[in-house]
Amino acid sequence: MRIARFVLGIGLVAALAACGEMPGKAPFEAMPGGEVSRAAASALDRPVTPLPGMQAPVRQGSMKLVAYEFRVPEALSVSEANLYLPIADIVWRGDAYGNRKQQVAAMFRSSLEKARANAPANGRPVKAIITLHKFHSLTEKARYTTGGIHTVVFDTTIVDAETGAVLVDGRKTRADLKGYGGRRAMLAERQGLGMKVRLMAHLDRVMAAEVSTAGGWRDKGRKLTRALNQI
């Protein structure tokens, strides 16, 4: 019986890691079971490391962001269901209950404004149009138990601000972040590194990279993502 419960628990964690890839069918919903291994418990108790560059400004490259638009299509679905894997495009619990589309848009626009403020003086003036496709964060149930993945997917179009020439045409970018669960999430909260703080710092890095060079986050984010996954 203990082995069966352990296998069920492992299966749930694997499912959470793939939350952004689940098809639009009824969610897999099961209570976690089994015992936590000594190694897993030890990992939960490790101090939480701040994201690289949370205090330091991001250095940018060859493009100078002078204008931006952030779009949230009306067709995107929102879920307030407290399941492990609610099926929706937008799942967000980092703010008080309210208009989730507006809350997510405010975070992206804050990061884009920082990217514009830190843009290189001698870069090519550009306008960025960011269109959200998925912002699937952790529900209360996942956050207080297993953790998972914050899934962030968007399209980027960048045009020359003076000529209107298209430099980047609808590039699809996925910029996920590991989400803490259980005791590790609570420890992060006590250290001032709660879910919204970590996601905001992550979005700052992502947007700065996305609008500063033609390669965007796909190029600049690979090494950072690998480093963050070890934290």
In sequence order, what are the beta bridge partners of 132? 154
Structural domain 60-228, CATH architecture: 3-Layer(aba) Sandwich (3.40)
Res. 157: pLDDT tops 60: yes
- The pLDDT of residue 4 is 47
Identify the three-state secondary structure at position 172. strand
Identify the band that residue 225 occupies on the pLDDT scale cut at 50, 70 and 90.
low
Q: For the ranges 57-61, 103-107, 167-171, 176-180, which has the lowest average pLDDT?
A: 57-61
> Is 210's pLDDT higher than 80?
yes
How would residue 7 be classed by pLDDT, with cut points 50, 70 and 90? very low
User: Tens of pLDDT along 87-96?
Assistant: 999 999 999 9
pLDDT digits (tens, 9 = 90+) for 122-148: 899 999 999 999 999 999 999 999 999
Answer yes or no: is pLDDT of 110 > 60: yes
Looking up tokens 């890691």, which residue turns up?
17
The Cα–Cα gap between 150 and 208 comes to 19
Residue spans per domain, the chain? 60-228
Task: Provide mean pLDDT across the span 48-57.
Answer: 44
Give the residue from 27, 40, 37 showing the smallest Cα distance to 147.
Answer: 40
Confidence of residue 189 (pLDDT cuts 50, 70, 90): confident
Which DSSP symbol is given to 146? T
> Is pTM beyond 0.85 here?
no
Q: Which two tokens stand for residue 197?
A: 């703080």
Closest of 162, 9, 41, 146 to residue 83, by C-alpha: 146
Distance of CA 143 to the CA centre of its chain: 14
Mean pLDDT for the stretch of residues 147-156: 96
| β strands within 73-179, DSSP E | 90-91, 124-136, 148-160, 166-174, 177-179
> Collapsing DSSP states into helix, strand and coil, what is residue 176?
coil
Q: What pairs with residue 148 in β-bridges?
A: 179
Q: Which of 208, 197, 129 is nearest to 175 (CA)?
A: 208
Residue 74 has pLDDT above 90, yes or no: yes
Mean pLDDT for the chain overall? 79
DSSP state of 78: B
Burial grade of 35 (CB within 10 A; 0-12, 13-18, 19 or more) = exposed
Per-residue confidence (pLDDT) for residue 62, from 0 to 100: 85
Cβ atoms within 10 A of the Cβ of 193, count? 20
- For residue 84, the model assigns a pLDDT of 93
Rg over CA atoms, the chain: 19
pLDDT at 221 over 80: no
Name the token pair of 71: 């779009």
Q: What is the pLDDT of residue 226?
A: 53
